[in-house]
């Protein structure tokens, strides 16, 4: 038996109260872990999908709100902004361009509202832009009404090469000519169509969502960016994939603020709960603390004991909360995806790794200990003669 | 009221006053008392006569308004909280009417709590010996809820003695017990007294007081006999 053992025994004495306190700490822990995991996971996913793995160095869009365009480019939907295909002719004079991919992207929700399909119209330039995109089965567009499926869509639709696939939103049937290997990126969740077909489907012939560019020499990216900006009329917007990613993250900033305010509120409620519980406990155990002082406990011993009791509840709450966050993160991810208004990456965005769980647990324990300071100081001030009062 | 041997605890003309609203209450009005080693004293008196305040002074639980308090030869009249805690830890054991046993800890664990605060590594062995001495050697792993009132008070006595104090202070130690268990506790006190332990016991029970070697009668904050 040591101080920890004594503290643990004291926790067990009021099981329901301790359990409720631990649950309140665990709730704060889950909230913090999920928010930290989302914060880190979202940034990593945006970087992965829009910057590192996109294969795109520059985007050309029509001026307006570039972040709206970014969101549309990445997520789908039919943007009111478009780039006329004629812009492609102007790019021929720019020397550092390795691949130029005009594309058209839009999203359509099924009539029952259960799913939104993202269609991307592309040209063969995609293969040069994204050499990492490989076919699992089949190959490039050929024949009548061809369509290429991302790996996840093939799995969801249970389609193989040669199968027909009907889209009730478009009232069109296509023939699967290729299925891509899984990239664990946004490609997995897309349907790829020939550019002209996709334009016709939404009555946007000759119009593009944007133009994606891959440069030959990344070291000259800034020069190329300036060259393109000088070349194109003022109502065009040229941005790098990094700027695109940064813009999306700026959009995400407001969501981030709300998330962290929620964490702070959860922590405040939890702290008030801990302080209230400990003060009640101390009031009930006043004469017991006085007795402990009679048998030689100093004010420091009493402070240590009360802080240990709270700290242990903090450790248990943090462990429960961390475990719950790990188990429930897919559920939280589903909810967050549904309501997130900015660009939603296709790969996991709530991924509580060991670093996040440990950092969150450490903060929860520190906050729990901080919450115990006032009750512990109150307990430490109890005078030993209180033990005899009213006897 | 002095002994030829150096007293374990000594009160010299101790005065204790405190305020109750606008009224000043004189709980002790110049009390002098020596507790000799191995002495068994019973403090008796009506409610409000100052018995508890006297015990507070002997146990270093409160400081006097006037006079001097010496425990184990140490003048603790103006001692700070830490120094008083040290004296309580090593020189005095306490037994009260209420048991203050932790229900989720075993008898042995309860008995060694004071050793925890004294950082006494031999506490567990000493607690086991004392529990054997008070007749609970076979109940070390039992919980307080499994014991009778008399047995719980025996655990409390073992706990009070775990740091080997020279003085045991008991405030109505049989107040919550039936006559059979109260008799058992008194026999235990007598046995401890025969072993050389000094005991000061506050009681309302004249029969129990009569079994002590000395009776200290208090009235209106003064020792009458």
Interface list for A 7-46 with B (CB within 8 A):
9-10, 12-13
pLDDT on residue A175 = 96
Give A-chain residues touching B113 at CB under 8 angstroms: 1, 6, 292, 295
- Among A4, A296, A298, the residue to mutate for chain B (most B Cβ within 10 A): A296
The tokens 């040069």 sit on which residue?
A128
DSSP A183: -
Out of B81, B90, B96, closest to residue A299 by CB: B81
Please, what is the average pLDDT of chain B? 88
Out of B52, B62, B94, closest to residue A295 by CB: B94
The two three-digit tokens of residue A388, written as one number: 């005899």
pLDDT on residue A118 = 87
pLDDT digits (tens, 9 = 90+) for A127-182: 888 888 899 999 999 999 999 999 999 999 999 999 999 998 889 999 999 999 99
Q: Is the pLDDT of residue B2 over 70?
A: no
d(CA A165, CA A158): 10
Nearest chain B Cα to A292, which residue?
Answer: B114
Contact A295 B112 (CB under 8 A): no
Tally of CB atoms within 10 A around B39:
21
The tokens 């029952």 sit on which residue?
A112
Q: Give the residue from A115, A98, A99, A117 showing the smallest Cα distance to A107.
A: A117
The nearest CA of chain B is from the CA of A308 a distance in Å of 15
d(CA B112, CA B117): 9
pLDDT on residue A51 = 67
Put simply, whether A387 touches B (Cβ < 8 Å) is: yes
Q: Is the pLDDT of residue B16 over 60?
A: yes
Q: Where are the alpha helices (DSSP H) in chain B?
A: 51-58, 81-91, 107-111, 113-117, 123-133, 149-160, 179-194, 206-210
DSSP A279-307: HHHHHHTHHHHHHHHHTT--HHHHHHHHH
For A68, the enclosing helix (H) or strand (E) is: helix A66-75
User: Distances from the Cα of A131 to the Cαs of A46, A128, A180, A311, in angstroms?
Assistant: 20, 6, 12, 54
The nearest CA of chain A is from the CA of B117 a distance in Å of 5
pLDDT on residue B86 = 86
pLDDT digits (tens, 9 = 90+) for A319-372: 999 999 999 888 888 888 777 666 677 778 888 888 999 999 999 999 999 999
pLDDT on residue A316 = 95
Number of helices (H), then strands (E), belonging to chain B: the values are 8, 10
Asked if A55 and A129 count as a contact pair (C-beta separation under 8 A), the reply is yes
CA count, 13 A, side-chain hemisphere, A26? 18
Q: Is the pLDDT of residue B80 over 50?
A: yes
Contact B61 A301 (CB under 8 A): no
Q: What is the pTM of this model?
A: 0.70
Q: Is the pLDDT of residue B118 over 90?
A: no
Low-confidence stretches of chain A (pLDDT beneath 50): 76, 391
Out of A1, A288, A299, closest to residue B100 by CB: A288
pLDDT on residue B108 = 94
Tally of CB atoms within 10 A around A285:
19
pLDDT digits (tens, 9 = 90+) for A143-157: 999 999 999 999 999
User: Distances from the Cα of B9 to the Cαs of A367, B33, B39, B167, in angstroms?
Assistant: 46, 8, 11, 8
Interface list for B 158-197 with A (CB within 8 A):
159-160, 163, 171-172, 175
pLDDT on residue B225 = 66
Out of A291, A301, A383, closest to residue B100 by CB: A291
Query: With bands split at pLDDT 50, 70 and 90, how would you rate the model's confidence at B3?
Result: very low
Q: State the angle between helix axes of B123-133 and B149-160 in degrees (0 to 180), rounded to the nearest 10.
A: 140
pLDDT on residue A341 = 60
Q: Is the pLDDT of residue B35 over 90?
A: yes
Rounded to an integer, the average pLDDT of B23-51 is 90
Asked if A138 and A161 count as a contact pair (C-beta separation under 8 A), the reply is yes
């Amino acid at each position: 038996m040591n101080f920890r053992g004594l503290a643990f025994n004291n926790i067990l004495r009021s099981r329901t109260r301790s359990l409720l306190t631990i649950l309140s700490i665990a709730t704060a822990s889950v909230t913090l872990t999920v928010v930290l995991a989302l914060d880190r996971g979202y940034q990593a996913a945006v970087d992965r999908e829009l910057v590192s793995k996109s294969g795109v160095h520059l985007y050309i869009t029509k001026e307006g709100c570039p972040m709206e365009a970014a969101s549309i480019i990445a997520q789908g939907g039919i943007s009111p902004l478009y780039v006329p295909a004629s812009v492609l002719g102007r790019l021929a004079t720019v020397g550092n361009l390795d691949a130029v991919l005009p594309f058209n992207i839009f999203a359509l929700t099924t009539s029952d509202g259960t799913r939104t399909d993202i269609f991307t119209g592309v040209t063969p330039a995609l293969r040069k832009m994204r050499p990492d995109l490989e076919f699992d089965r089949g190959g490039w567009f050929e024949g009548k009404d061809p369509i290429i499926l991302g790996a996840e869509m093939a799995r969801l639709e249970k389609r193989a090469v040669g199968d027909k696939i009907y889209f009730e939103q478009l009232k069109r049937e296509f023939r699967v000519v290729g299925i891509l290997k899984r990239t664990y990126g946004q490609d997995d969740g897309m349907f790829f169509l020939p550019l002209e077909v996709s334009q016709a489907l939404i009555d946007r012939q000759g119009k593009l969502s944007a133009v994606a560019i891959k440069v030959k020499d990344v070291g000259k990216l800034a020069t190329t960016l300036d060259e393109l900006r000088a070349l194109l009329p003022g109502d065009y917007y040229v941005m790098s994939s990094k700027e695109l990613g940064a813009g999306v993250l700026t959009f995400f900033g407001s969501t981030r603020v709300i998330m962290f305010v929620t964490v702070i509120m959860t922590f405040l409620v939890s702290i008030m709960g801990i302080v209230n519980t400990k003060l009640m406990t101390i009031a009930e155990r006043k004469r017991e603390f006085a007795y402990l002082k009679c048998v030689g406990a100093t004010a420091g011993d009493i402070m240590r004991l009360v802080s240990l009791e709270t700290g242990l509840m903090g450790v248990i709450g943090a462990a429960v909360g961390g475990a719950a966050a790990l188990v429930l993160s897919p559920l939280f991810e589903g909810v967050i995806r549904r309501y997130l208004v900015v660009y939603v990456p296709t790969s996991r965005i709530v991924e509580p790794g060991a670093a996040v769980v440990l950092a969150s647990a450490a903060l929860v324990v520190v906050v729990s200990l901080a919450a115990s300071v006032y009750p512990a100081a109150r307990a430490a001030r109890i005078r030993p003669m209180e033990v005899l009062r009213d006897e | 009221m002095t002994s030829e041997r150096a007293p374990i605890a000594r009160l010299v003309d101790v005065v204790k006053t405190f305020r109750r609203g606008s009224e000043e209450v004189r709980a002790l009005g110049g009390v002098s008392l020596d507790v000799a080693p191995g002495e068994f004293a019973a403090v008796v008196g009506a409610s409000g006569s100052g018995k508890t305040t006297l015990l507070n002074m002997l146990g270093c639980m409160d400081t006097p308004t006037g006079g001097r308090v010496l425990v184990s030869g140490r003048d603790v009249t103006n001692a700070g909280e830490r120094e008083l805690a040290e004296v309580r830890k090593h020189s005095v054991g306490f037994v009260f009417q209420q048991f203050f046993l932790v229900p989720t800890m075993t008898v042995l664990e309860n008995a060694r709590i004071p050793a925890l605060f004294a950082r006494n590594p031999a506490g567990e062995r000493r607690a086991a010996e004392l529990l054997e001495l008070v007749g609970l050697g076979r109940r070390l792993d039992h919980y307080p809820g499994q014991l009778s009132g008399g047995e719980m008070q025996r655990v409390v006595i073992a706990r009070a003695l775990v740091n080997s104090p020279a003085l045991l202070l008991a405030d109505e130690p049989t107040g919550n017990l039936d006559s059979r268990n109260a008799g058992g506790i008194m026999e235990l006190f007598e046995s401890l007294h025969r072993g050389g332990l000094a005991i000061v016991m506050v009681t309302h029970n004249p029969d129990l007081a009569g079994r002590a070697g000395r009776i200290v009668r208090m009235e209106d904050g003064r020792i009458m006999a």
